[in-house]
Amino acid sequence: MSEAPKSAAAPAAPAAPKAAGRAGRNTELPEHLKSYKGVWVFIEHDRGHVNPVSWELMGEARKLADKLQVDVSGVLLGGPDEPLDAYAAEAYSYGADRCYIMRDAVLKGYRNEPFTKGLTDLVNKHQPEIMLLGATTMGRDLAGSVATTLGTGLTADCTELNIDGRALAATRPTFGGSLLCTIMTLAYRPQMATVRPRVMPMPRRDETRRGEIVEMALGMVETDIVTKLLEFIPDANRNTINLAYADIVISGGKGLKNADNFKLVWELARVLGAEVGATRAVVQAGWTEAERQVGQTGKTVRPKLYIAAGISGAIQHRVGMEGSDIIVAINTDAYAPIFDFAHYGIVGNAMQVLPVLTQAFRSHFDKRIRKIA
Ligand SMILES: Cc1cc2nc3c(=O)[nH]c(=O)nc-3n(C[C@H](O)[C@H](O)[C@H](O)COP(=O)(O)OP(=O)(O)OC[C@H]3O[C@@H](n4cnc5c(N)ncnc54)[C@H](O)[C@@H]3O)c2cc1C
Protein backbone atom coordinates (compact mmCIF):
# COMPACT_ATOMS: atom_id res chain seq x y z
CA MET A 1 0.00 0.00 0.00
CA SER A 2 1.53 3.29 -0.96
CA GLU A 3 0.77 6.66 0.43
CA ALA A 4 0.24 9.45 -2.06
CA PRO A 5 2.96 12.09 -1.90
CA LYS A 6 1.80 15.12 0.05
CA SER A 7 2.11 17.41 -2.95
CA ALA A 8 -0.21 15.18 -4.96
CA ALA A 9 -2.85 14.96 -2.21
CA ALA A 10 -6.38 15.84 -3.26
CA PRO A 11 -7.34 19.32 -2.16
CA ALA A 12 -9.22 19.38 1.13
CA ALA A 13 -12.99 19.29 0.59
CA PRO A 14 -14.43 22.80 1.01
CA ALA A 15 -16.31 23.34 4.25
CA ALA A 16 -20.08 22.82 3.87
CA PRO A 17 -21.64 26.21 3.08
CA LYS A 18 -23.49 27.78 5.98
CA ALA A 19 -27.11 28.57 5.36
CA ALA A 20 -27.57 32.33 5.15
CA GLY A 21 -28.56 33.94 8.44
CA ARG A 22 -28.43 30.72 10.41
CA ALA A 23 -24.94 30.99 11.91
CA GLY A 24 -25.16 30.11 15.58
CA ARG A 25 -28.93 29.71 15.48
CA ASN A 26 -30.26 27.43 18.15
CA THR A 27 -33.23 25.42 16.94
CA GLU A 28 -33.24 22.76 19.66
CA LEU A 29 -35.53 23.20 22.64
CA PRO A 30 -33.34 22.99 25.77
CA GLU A 31 -34.24 20.16 28.18
CA HIS A 32 -35.55 22.50 30.92
CA LEU A 33 -38.11 24.04 28.54
CA LYS A 34 -39.58 20.70 27.44
CA SER A 35 -41.92 20.64 30.44
CA TYR A 36 -43.73 23.82 29.26
CA LYS A 37 -47.29 22.76 28.38
CA GLY A 38 -50.62 24.38 27.60
CA VAL A 39 -51.98 27.37 25.71
CA TRP A 40 -52.64 30.65 27.54
CA VAL A 41 -54.70 33.69 26.63
CA PHE A 42 -54.18 37.01 28.40
CA ILE A 43 -57.72 38.27 29.09
CA GLU A 44 -57.71 42.02 28.62
CA HIS A 45 -60.31 44.01 30.54
CA ASP A 46 -60.76 47.66 31.25
CA ARG A 47 -63.31 49.51 33.41
CA GLY A 48 -65.76 46.61 33.58
CA HIS A 49 -65.48 45.24 30.03
CA VAL A 50 -63.46 42.40 28.56
CA ASN A 51 -62.03 43.27 25.16
CA PRO A 52 -63.76 40.84 22.72
CA VAL A 53 -60.38 40.09 21.11
CA SER A 54 -59.65 37.95 24.21
CA TRP A 55 -62.61 35.68 23.35
CA GLU A 56 -61.56 35.55 19.68
CA LEU A 57 -58.14 34.37 20.90
CA MET A 58 -59.75 31.89 23.27
CA GLY A 59 -61.37 30.24 20.22
CA GLU A 60 -57.96 30.00 18.50
CA ALA A 61 -56.29 28.78 21.70
CA ARG A 62 -58.87 25.98 21.93
CA LYS A 63 -58.06 24.82 18.38
CA LEU A 64 -54.29 24.92 19.02
CA ALA A 65 -54.65 23.13 22.38
CA ASP A 66 -56.83 20.39 20.87
CA LYS A 67 -54.11 19.73 18.25
CA LEU A 68 -51.47 19.58 21.01
CA GLN A 69 -53.80 17.71 23.39
CA VAL A 70 -53.23 20.19 26.22
CA ASP A 71 -55.39 22.58 28.28
CA VAL A 72 -56.37 26.17 27.58
CA SER A 73 -55.96 28.74 30.36
CA GLY A 74 -57.02 32.35 30.66
CA VAL A 75 -54.96 34.86 32.66
CA LEU A 76 -56.75 37.60 34.59
CA LEU A 77 -54.92 40.39 36.42
CA GLY A 78 -56.93 43.07 38.20
CA GLY A 79 -57.95 44.90 41.34
CA PRO A 80 -59.60 43.11 44.31
CA ASP A 81 -62.96 44.80 43.57
CA GLU A 82 -63.03 43.89 39.87
CA PRO A 83 -65.34 41.02 38.70
CA LEU A 84 -62.50 38.66 37.71
CA ASP A 85 -64.52 35.53 38.66
CA ALA A 86 -67.31 36.60 36.28
CA TYR A 87 -64.74 37.10 33.50
CA ALA A 88 -63.34 33.63 34.28
CA ALA A 89 -66.84 32.10 33.94
CA GLU A 90 -67.12 33.78 30.53
CA ALA A 91 -63.67 32.46 29.60
CA TYR A 92 -64.82 28.87 30.26
CA SER A 93 -67.83 29.37 28.00
CA TYR A 94 -65.44 30.37 25.19
CA GLY A 95 -63.16 27.35 25.66
CA ALA A 96 -60.89 27.85 28.69
CA ASP A 97 -60.31 24.93 31.09
CA ARG A 98 -58.71 27.05 33.82
CA CYS A 99 -58.07 30.68 34.79
CA TYR A 100 -55.00 32.00 36.59
CA ILE A 101 -56.04 35.01 38.64
CA MET A 102 -53.93 37.68 40.33
CA ARG A 103 -55.82 40.23 42.44
CA ASP A 104 -53.99 43.19 43.86
CA ALA A 105 -54.77 46.89 44.34
CA VAL A 106 -51.77 47.78 42.14
CA LEU A 107 -53.32 45.80 39.27
CA LYS A 108 -56.40 48.02 39.05
CA GLY A 109 -56.01 49.87 35.74
CA TYR A 110 -53.27 48.80 33.35
CA ARG A 111 -49.68 49.75 34.10
CA ASN A 112 -46.75 48.05 32.43
CA GLU A 113 -44.60 47.29 35.50
CA PRO A 114 -47.05 45.39 37.73
CA PHE A 115 -48.67 43.60 34.77
CA THR A 116 -45.27 42.54 33.39
CA LYS A 117 -44.20 41.21 36.79
CA GLY A 118 -47.55 39.45 37.31
CA LEU A 119 -47.57 37.75 33.93
CA THR A 120 -43.88 36.76 33.96
CA ASP A 121 -44.22 35.33 37.50
CA LEU A 122 -47.23 33.27 36.39
CA VAL A 123 -45.36 32.02 33.31
CA ASN A 124 -42.27 31.07 35.32
CA LYS A 125 -44.39 29.17 37.83
CA HIS A 126 -46.93 27.42 35.58
CA GLN A 127 -44.91 27.18 32.33
CA PRO A 128 -47.23 27.49 29.31
CA GLU A 129 -45.85 26.60 25.88
CA ILE A 130 -47.92 29.21 23.99
CA MET A 131 -49.24 32.60 25.10
CA LEU A 132 -51.61 34.76 23.04
CA LEU A 133 -52.46 38.43 23.56
CA GLY A 134 -54.63 40.89 21.63
CA ALA A 135 -52.69 43.31 19.42
CA THR A 136 -54.36 46.23 21.20
CA THR A 137 -52.62 49.19 22.82
CA MET A 138 -52.44 47.26 26.11
CA GLY A 139 -51.60 43.88 24.55
CA ARG A 140 -48.79 45.24 22.38
CA ASP A 141 -47.22 47.07 25.33
CA LEU A 142 -47.46 44.10 27.67
CA ALA A 143 -46.45 41.39 25.16
CA GLY A 144 -43.22 43.21 24.26
CA SER A 145 -42.07 43.68 27.83
CA VAL A 146 -43.05 40.16 28.92
CA ALA A 147 -41.25 38.59 25.94
CA THR A 148 -38.07 40.58 26.59
CA THR A 149 -38.18 39.86 30.34
CA LEU A 150 -38.59 36.12 29.65
CA GLY A 151 -36.08 36.20 26.79
CA THR A 152 -38.43 34.49 24.36
CA GLY A 153 -39.80 35.14 20.85
CA LEU A 154 -42.89 37.22 20.04
CA THR A 155 -44.66 37.35 16.67
CA ALA A 156 -46.85 40.46 16.43
CA ASP A 157 -50.05 41.05 14.43
CA CYS A 158 -50.53 37.45 13.32
CA THR A 159 -53.21 36.62 10.78
CA GLU A 160 -53.07 32.83 11.19
CA LEU A 161 -51.98 30.48 13.98
CA ASN A 162 -51.24 26.82 13.51
CA ILE A 163 -49.26 23.92 14.93
CA ASP A 164 -46.27 22.54 13.02
CA GLY A 165 -44.90 19.48 14.79
CA ARG A 166 -45.20 20.79 18.36
CA ALA A 167 -44.29 24.38 17.51
CA LEU A 168 -46.57 27.37 17.06
CA ALA A 169 -46.50 28.45 13.40
CA ALA A 170 -47.47 32.13 13.52
CA THR A 171 -48.19 33.74 10.17
CA ARG A 172 -48.13 37.50 9.61
CA PRO A 173 -47.78 39.94 6.68
CA THR A 174 -44.30 41.17 5.82
CA PHE A 175 -42.63 43.43 3.20
CA GLY A 176 -45.44 46.00 3.42
CA GLY A 177 -48.12 43.31 3.27
CA SER A 178 -47.02 41.93 -0.11
CA LEU A 179 -45.84 38.62 1.42
CA LEU A 180 -46.88 36.41 4.32
CA CYS A 181 -44.22 34.81 6.52
CA THR A 182 -44.56 32.05 9.09
CA ILE A 183 -42.44 32.46 12.21
CA MET A 184 -41.61 29.76 14.75
CA THR A 185 -39.90 30.13 18.13
CA LEU A 186 -38.08 26.81 18.26
CA ALA A 187 -35.64 27.16 21.15
CA TYR A 188 -37.50 29.31 23.69
CA ARG A 189 -40.72 29.10 25.69
CA PRO A 190 -43.41 30.29 25.82
CA GLN A 191 -44.02 30.99 22.15
CA MET A 192 -45.77 34.37 22.15
CA ALA A 193 -48.06 35.93 19.55
CA THR A 194 -50.39 38.91 19.29
CA VAL A 195 -53.44 39.06 17.01
CA ARG A 196 -55.47 42.15 16.12
CA PRO A 197 -59.18 42.41 16.99
CA ARG A 198 -61.51 40.78 14.41
CA VAL A 199 -58.75 38.89 12.61
CA MET A 200 -60.06 35.67 14.18
CA PRO A 201 -63.76 34.78 14.31
CA MET A 202 -65.68 34.93 17.59
CA PRO A 203 -66.11 31.35 18.88
CA ARG A 204 -69.51 29.98 19.90
CA ARG A 205 -70.32 30.18 23.60
CA ASP A 206 -71.04 27.03 25.54
CA GLU A 207 -72.64 28.06 28.84
CA THR A 208 -72.36 24.52 30.22
CA ARG A 209 -68.54 24.55 30.28
CA ARG A 210 -66.87 24.92 33.69
CA GLY A 211 -63.27 25.37 34.78
CA GLU A 212 -60.97 25.79 37.75
CA ILE A 213 -59.44 28.92 39.24
CA VAL A 214 -55.80 29.09 40.32
CA GLU A 215 -54.91 32.17 42.37
CA MET A 216 -51.42 33.62 42.82
CA ALA A 217 -50.23 36.69 44.75
CA LEU A 218 -48.31 39.48 43.02
CA GLY A 219 -45.91 40.52 45.79
CA MET A 220 -45.49 44.13 44.73
CA VAL A 221 -46.40 47.36 46.53
CA GLU A 222 -47.38 50.75 45.16
CA THR A 223 -44.02 52.29 46.13
CA ASP A 224 -42.26 49.75 43.82
CA ILE A 225 -44.02 51.27 40.79
CA VAL A 226 -42.83 54.48 39.15
CA THR A 227 -45.94 54.99 36.95
CA LYS A 228 -48.99 56.46 38.66
CA LEU A 229 -52.50 56.27 37.25
CA LEU A 230 -54.00 59.68 38.02
CA GLU A 231 -57.11 59.85 35.84
CA PHE A 232 -58.73 58.23 32.81
CA ILE A 233 -59.62 60.65 30.00
CA PRO A 234 -61.56 58.86 27.23
CA ASP A 235 -60.90 59.75 23.60
CA ALA A 236 -64.34 60.97 22.48
CA ASN A 237 -63.71 59.96 18.84
CA ARG A 238 -62.51 56.45 19.59
CA ASN A 239 -65.62 55.60 21.53
CA THR A 240 -67.99 56.73 18.79
CA ILE A 241 -66.38 54.78 15.91
CA ASN A 242 -67.12 51.09 16.27
CA LEU A 243 -65.72 49.95 12.96
CA ALA A 244 -64.15 46.64 14.03
CA TYR A 245 -67.39 45.23 15.49
CA ALA A 246 -69.94 46.79 13.06
CA ASP A 247 -72.38 44.42 11.30
CA ILE A 248 -72.42 46.53 8.14
CA VAL A 249 -69.52 48.62 6.81
CA ILE A 250 -69.75 50.90 3.78
CA SER A 251 -66.27 51.90 2.63
CA GLY A 252 -65.18 54.42 0.05
CA GLY A 253 -61.99 54.62 -1.98
CA LYS A 254 -60.10 57.06 -4.17
CA GLY A 255 -62.44 56.20 -7.07
CA LEU A 256 -64.94 58.59 -5.42
CA LYS A 257 -62.67 61.40 -6.67
CA ASN A 258 -63.30 64.00 -3.92
CA ALA A 259 -64.49 64.60 -0.35
CA ASP A 260 -67.89 65.80 -1.56
CA ASN A 261 -68.61 62.50 -3.33
CA PHE A 262 -67.44 60.62 -0.21
CA LYS A 263 -70.62 61.95 1.47
CA LEU A 264 -72.54 59.43 -0.70
CA VAL A 265 -70.94 56.68 1.42
CA TRP A 266 -72.26 58.37 4.58
CA GLU A 267 -75.77 58.63 3.12
CA LEU A 268 -75.97 54.91 2.35
CA ALA A 269 -74.43 54.10 5.77
CA ARG A 270 -77.05 56.22 7.55
CA VAL A 271 -79.94 54.39 5.82
CA LEU A 272 -78.46 50.96 6.61
CA GLY A 273 -77.35 51.84 10.15
CA ALA A 274 -73.80 51.03 9.06
CA GLU A 275 -70.32 52.25 9.97
CA VAL A 276 -68.22 54.12 7.40
CA GLY A 277 -64.81 52.80 6.39
CA ALA A 278 -62.17 54.05 3.97
CA THR A 279 -58.95 53.13 2.24
CA ARG A 280 -55.62 54.61 3.25
CA ALA A 281 -55.65 56.73 0.08
CA VAL A 282 -58.88 58.38 1.26
CA VAL A 283 -57.54 58.97 4.78
CA GLN A 284 -54.36 60.46 3.33
CA ALA A 285 -56.47 62.75 1.13
CA GLY A 286 -58.16 63.99 4.33
CA TRP A 287 -61.70 62.95 3.31
CA THR A 288 -62.25 61.13 6.63
CA GLU A 289 -60.62 60.31 9.99
CA ALA A 290 -57.70 57.88 10.33
CA GLU A 291 -59.82 55.75 12.74
CA ARG A 292 -61.94 54.76 9.72
CA GLN A 293 -59.07 53.24 7.72
CA VAL A 294 -59.57 49.57 6.95
CA GLY A 295 -56.54 47.40 6.23
CA GLN A 296 -53.11 46.35 7.25
CA THR A 297 -52.24 49.66 8.91
CA GLY A 298 -55.84 50.40 9.86
CA LYS A 299 -58.64 48.32 11.37
CA THR A 300 -59.60 44.74 10.62
CA VAL A 301 -63.35 44.35 10.11
CA ARG A 302 -65.54 41.26 9.88
CA PRO A 303 -69.06 42.55 9.19
CA LYS A 304 -72.00 40.61 7.76
CA LEU A 305 -71.97 43.04 4.80
CA TYR A 306 -69.06 45.10 3.40
CA ILE A 307 -69.76 47.46 0.51
CA ALA A 308 -66.61 48.76 -1.20
CA ALA A 309 -67.20 51.76 -3.47
CA GLY A 310 -64.38 52.98 -5.71
CA ILE A 311 -61.83 50.71 -4.02
CA SER A 312 -59.22 48.87 -6.10
CA GLY A 313 -58.74 45.99 -3.62
CA ALA A 314 -55.00 46.36 -2.94
CA ILE A 315 -53.63 43.58 -0.70
CA GLN A 316 -53.11 46.03 2.20
CA HIS A 317 -56.83 46.87 2.11
CA ARG A 318 -57.91 43.30 1.44
CA VAL A 319 -56.25 41.88 4.60
CA GLY A 320 -58.45 44.16 6.69
CA MET A 321 -61.82 43.17 5.22
CA GLU A 322 -61.65 39.78 3.49
CA GLY A 323 -63.15 38.07 6.57
CA SER A 324 -66.48 39.85 5.87
CA ASP A 325 -69.42 37.48 5.28
CA ILE A 326 -70.57 39.26 2.10
CA ILE A 327 -68.47 41.69 0.06
CA VAL A 328 -70.12 43.88 -2.57
CA ALA A 329 -67.78 45.86 -4.82
CA ILE A 330 -68.67 48.85 -7.01
CA ASN A 331 -65.94 49.74 -9.49
CA THR A 332 -65.80 51.14 -13.05
CA ASP A 333 -62.95 48.75 -13.91
CA ALA A 334 -64.20 45.21 -14.45
CA TYR A 335 -60.60 43.97 -13.97
CA ALA A 336 -60.04 45.72 -10.60
CA PRO A 337 -58.47 43.24 -8.10
CA ILE A 338 -61.42 43.66 -5.72
CA PHE A 339 -63.59 41.62 -8.10
CA ASP A 340 -61.26 38.64 -7.50
CA PHE A 341 -62.58 38.22 -3.95
CA ALA A 342 -65.90 40.16 -3.80
CA HIS A 343 -69.02 37.96 -3.59
CA TYR A 344 -71.07 40.43 -5.68
CA GLY A 345 -69.73 42.97 -8.15
CA ILE A 346 -71.31 46.02 -9.76
CA VAL A 347 -69.29 47.35 -12.68
CA GLY A 348 -70.32 50.99 -12.70
CA ASN A 349 -69.77 54.54 -11.55
CA ALA A 350 -70.03 54.69 -7.74
CA MET A 351 -71.36 58.25 -7.94
CA GLN A 352 -74.39 56.85 -9.78
CA VAL A 353 -74.70 53.45 -8.04
CA LEU A 354 -74.48 54.69 -4.41
CA PRO A 355 -77.47 57.12 -4.62
CA VAL A 356 -79.54 54.41 -6.36
CA LEU A 357 -78.75 51.90 -3.57
CA THR A 358 -79.49 54.53 -0.89
CA GLN A 359 -82.85 55.31 -2.49
CA ALA A 360 -83.73 51.62 -2.98
CA PHE A 361 -82.98 50.74 0.66
CA ARG A 362 -84.77 53.85 1.92
CA SER A 363 -88.00 52.95 0.07
CA HIS A 364 -87.64 49.26 1.09
CA PHE A 365 -87.41 50.23 4.79
CA ASP A 366 -90.21 52.84 4.42
CA LYS A 367 -92.52 50.13 2.98
CA ARG A 368 -91.70 47.78 5.86
CA ILE A 369 -92.36 50.51 8.44
CA ARG A 370 -95.72 51.33 6.76
CA LYS A 371 -96.65 47.60 6.80
CA ILE A 372 -95.86 47.31 10.53
CA ALA A 373 -97.81 50.54 11.27
C1 LIG B 1 -47.11 49.53 4.08
C2 LIG B 1 -48.43 49.86 3.46
C3 LIG B 1 -49.57 49.79 4.24
C4 LIG B 1 -50.81 50.10 3.70
N5 LIG B 1 -51.93 49.99 4.48
C6 LIG B 1 -53.14 50.21 3.92
C7 LIG B 1 -54.33 50.04 4.69
O8 LIG B 1 -54.30 49.74 5.90
N9 LIG B 1 -55.51 50.25 4.08
C10 LIG B 1 -55.62 50.60 2.75
O11 LIG B 1 -56.75 50.77 2.26
N12 LIG B 1 -54.51 50.77 2.01
C13 LIG B 1 -53.29 50.61 2.56
N14 LIG B 1 -52.18 50.81 1.80
C15 LIG B 1 -52.33 51.41 0.47
C16 LIG B 1 -52.74 50.40 -0.59
O17 LIG B 1 -51.59 49.80 -1.13
C18 LIG B 1 -53.52 51.09 -1.77
O19 LIG B 1 -52.71 52.13 -2.27
C20 LIG B 1 -54.85 51.69 -1.34
O21 LIG B 1 -55.63 50.73 -0.65
C22 LIG B 1 -55.60 52.15 -2.59
O23 LIG B 1 -56.74 52.84 -2.20
P24 LIG B 1 -57.97 52.97 -3.21
O25 LIG B 1 -58.46 51.63 -3.58
O26 LIG B 1 -58.92 53.91 -2.54
O27 LIG B 1 -57.36 53.76 -4.44
P28 LIG B 1 -56.92 53.28 -5.87
O29 LIG B 1 -55.95 52.16 -5.81
O30 LIG B 1 -56.53 54.53 -6.59
O31 LIG B 1 -58.24 52.68 -6.54
C32 LIG B 1 -59.34 53.42 -6.94
C33 LIG B 1 -60.31 52.46 -7.60
O34 LIG B 1 -61.49 53.16 -7.92
C35 LIG B 1 -61.93 52.75 -9.21
N36 LIG B 1 -62.74 53.87 -9.75
C37 LIG B 1 -62.32 54.98 -10.39
N38 LIG B 1 -63.38 55.77 -10.66
C39 LIG B 1 -64.47 55.13 -10.18
C40 LIG B 1 -65.84 55.46 -10.16
N41 LIG B 1 -66.32 56.60 -10.67
N42 LIG B 1 -66.69 54.57 -9.59
C43 LIG B 1 -66.24 53.40 -9.07
N44 LIG B 1 -64.95 53.04 -9.08
C45 LIG B 1 -64.08 53.91 -9.61
C46 LIG B 1 -60.68 52.48 -9.97
O47 LIG B 1 -60.94 51.56 -11.03
C48 LIG B 1 -59.79 51.86 -8.90
O49 LIG B 1 -59.93 50.45 -8.87
C50 LIG B 1 -50.92 50.51 2.33
C51 LIG B 1 -49.77 50.56 1.54
C52 LIG B 1 -48.54 50.25 2.11
C53 LIG B 1 -47.33 50.30 1.23
pLDDT digits (tens, 9 = 90+) for 275-301: 999 999 999 999 999 999 999 999 999
* 352 CA from centroid of ligand 1 (Å): 19
Residue pLDDT, tens place only, 124-178: 999 999 999 999 999 999 999 999 999 999 999 999 999 999 999 999 988 877 7
**Length of the chain in residues, anyone?**
373
- pLDDT attached to residue 24: 54
177 lines ligand 1 (CB under 6 A): yes
Task: Identify which of 175, 254, 262, 292 to mutate to test ligand 1's pocket (most ligand atoms within 8 A of the CB).
Answer: 254
- Strands, E, within 200-314: which ranges? 212-215, 248-252, 275-278, 305-309
Q: Which atom of ligand 1 is nearest to the CA of 294?
A: 9
Q: Which atom belonging to ligand 1 lies closest to the Cα atom of 298?
A: 8
Distance 255 CA to ligand 1 centre (A): 8
Q: What span, in angstroms and rounded, lies between the C-alpha atoms of 182 and 190?
A: 17
CA of 311 to the centre of ligand 1 (A): 5
pLDDT of residue 21: 46
Closest ligand 1 atom to Cα of 350: 42
Looking from the CA of residue 330, the nearest atom of ligand 1 is 43
Beta strand 130-134 with 248-252 is: unpaired
Q: Ligand 1 pocket, 183 CB below 6 A?
A: no
Quote the crossing angle between the two packed helices 350-372 and 259-272, to the nearest 10°: 20
DSSP three-state, residue 56: helix
Average pLDDT over residues 270-275: 95
**Cα separation, 53 vs 59, whole angstroms:** 10
CB burial readout 130-162, b (16+ within 10 A) else e: bbbbbbbebbbbbbbbbbeebebbbbbbbbebe
Q: Which long-range contacts (CB under 8 A, 24 or more apart) does 181-187 make?
A: 183/153, 183/155, 185/152, 185/153, 185/155, 186/26, 186/27, 186/28, 186/29, 187/26, 187/27, 187/28, 187/29, 187/30, 187/33
**Ligand 1 in reach of 298 Cβ (< 6 A):** yes
Phi-psi domain of 286 (left: phi exceeds 0; alpha: psi -120 through 50; beta: other):
left
Between the CA of 315 and the centroid of ligand 1 the distance, in Å, is: 9
Please check the confidence at residue 11 and state whether its pLDDT lies above 90: no
Confidence at 94, pLDDT banded by 50, 70, 90: very high
Q: What is the pLDDT of residue 329?
A: 98
Q: Is the pLDDT of residue 5 over 50?
A: no
Calculate how far, in angstroms, residue 86's C-alpha sits from the geometric centre of ligand 1. Answer: 44
Q: From ligand 1's centre to the CA of 135, what distance in Å?
A: 24
Q: Determine the average pLDDT of the residues in 331-346.
A: 98
| Residue located nearest, by CA, to atom 1 of ligand 1 | 176
Question: Does ligand 1 have an atom closer than 6 angstroms to the CB of 300?
Answer: no
Q: Is 146 helix (H, G, I), strand (E, B) or coil?
A: helix
What is the residue-wise DSSP string for 235-259?
-HHHHH---TT-SEEEEE-GGG-SH
Average pLDDT, the chain: 91
Pairwise CA distance, residues 172 & 281, whole Å: 23
**In angstroms, rounded to a whole number, what is the distance separating the alpha carbons of residues 358 and 361?**
5
CB within 8 Å of 71: residues ≥ 6 apart: 37, 38, 39, 65, 97, 98
CA–CA distances in Å: residue 67 to residues 34, 74, 165: 17, 18, 10
Query: Is residue 349 within 6 Å of ligand 1 at its C-beta?
Result: yes
pLDDT band at 18 (very low <50, low <70, confident <90, very high): very low
Give yes or no for a contact between 232 and 193, defined as CB atoms under 8 angstroms apart. Answer: no
